[in-house]
Amino acid sequence: MNPEPTPRRRRRAVRRYLRRVPLLPSLLTLGNAFCGFLAIVKATDAAQLVGDGQLTGAALATVETAGLLIFLAMVFDGLDGKVARLTHQTTEFGAQLDSLADVVTFGIAPAVLAKFVINVHMAPRFENAEAWEVLPYHPKIYYLFAAFYVLFAVLRLARFNVEVRDPREKSHLEFDGLPSPAAATIIGSLILFYCARNERNSISRLLFDDERLYDWLVFAMPAMLLVVGLFMVSRLPYPHLLNRVLRGRKNFAHLVIAVVLLILFVLEWQIVLFALSLLYLMSGPVLGVWRFVTGRRAPVFEDLDDDDEGDEFIELDENGAEAESGRDPGRA
């Protein structure tokens, strides 16, 4: 005699079919991914412009365009979430799409660009190095550190999706670990600072017209890829600059500082961007040590009423009949 079926055995398999998606936020997120794809394509285009193992002016200009595309992608990345919240279209679909786009733009593209610059700049040194000097210039070393950066970015984004339960803007006062757009900013600013040598009127070229400086910049890129990657998967506290700086009213000194930074950025944006990126990179360890010494805790996130609409799904059982429709939580 067959045993009585248990409730678990009676449970029918349920499949969910996505029925509606947010249009405008998704298009903005896809714009982010498209910019990341173009940045990678520009890196391959620059490889065709390399002459005699050296980065020509055209190659440097192409690499600079690729770096700027990463920053353009950040505009799309910042707008998609805001548009989704303003139009009440925060969805799980949007969160997953956003993370996939971030993997391409803030994970793969910066690593590919850095790997290209390192390879081309270091190739003559690898060929002319003595046997005991070969290891630091070996191309496999650059592959290794670039791979670390990409994989840590993927882990960072996966952890963010799992851990963040309230993805709305007011709860984002702080990040656990370096956010992937900031990581891409650091690597991208380093590459753009290197490309400034192609500009005749660049202040950085006039001040640092020494090939040894660019040698050190490129030599630091593999280590920077590793450090930035480790900071992404760390628990170091990093402030959400947009929500902390741009929200609410600030005192007059904040306005003065903003004007000064804006003027400096217009005059020599590569140096300012690189310097600000390094300051933000170090803010995590400094803030973490300060809290450890003083015993201060992270700010408490605000609780918001859940008034966002989610994805609408059709759930079908194993026989193809409609089971139950549901909504998924908000966009990360």
What DSSP string describes 229-292?
HHHHTS--EEE-HHHHHSSS---HHHHHHHHHHHHHHHH-HHHHHHHHHHHHHHHHHHHHHHHH
pLDDT in tens, 134-149: 666 677 888 899 999 9
Using the predicted structure, report yes or no on whether residue 128 has a pLDDT greater than 70: no
Between CA 205 and CA 195 the distance in angstroms is: 10
Higher pLDDT, 313 or 259: 259
pLDDT in tens, 46-67: 888 876 666 777 888 899 999 9
**Alpha-helical regions (H) of the chain:** 7-10, 23-48, 57-86, 92-102, 109-128, 134-137, 139-163, 180-195, 203-207, 211-232, 241-245, 252-267, 269-294
Higher pLDDT, 195 or 178: 178
Rounded mean pLDDT, 157-181 = 75
Q: What is the mean pLDDT of the chain?
A: 78
Both structure tokens of 76: 């799309």
Between CA 233 and CA 159 the distance in angstroms is: 8
Tell me the one-letter amino acid at 261: L
Rounded mean pLDDT, 313-327 = 44
pLDDT at res. 322: 45
pLDDT at res. 232: 95
Are residues 117 and 221 in contact, defined by beta-carbon separation less than 8 angstroms? yes
pLDDT in tens, 260-312: 888 888 888 888 899 999 999 999 999 989 988 887 766 654 443 334 444 44
Rounded mean pLDDT, 311-332 = 43
pLDDT at res. 49: 81
Rounded mean pLDDT, 166-181 = 71
pLDDT at res. 57: 78
Radius of gyration of the chain (CA): 24
pLDDT at res. 5: 54
Tell me the one-letter amino acid at 307: D
Higher pLDDT, 211 or 271: 271
Residue 16 CA from chain centroid, whole number: 30
pLDDT at res. 320: 44
Max mean pLDDT range (122-131, 269-278, 321-330): 269-278
Q: Which 3 state secondary structure label does DSSP give 191?
A: helix
Residue 152's Cβ-count burial label (10 Å; 0-12, 13-18, 19+) is buried
Higher pLDDT, 116 or 245: 116
pLDDT at res. 170: 41
Rounded mean pLDDT, 14-32 = 81
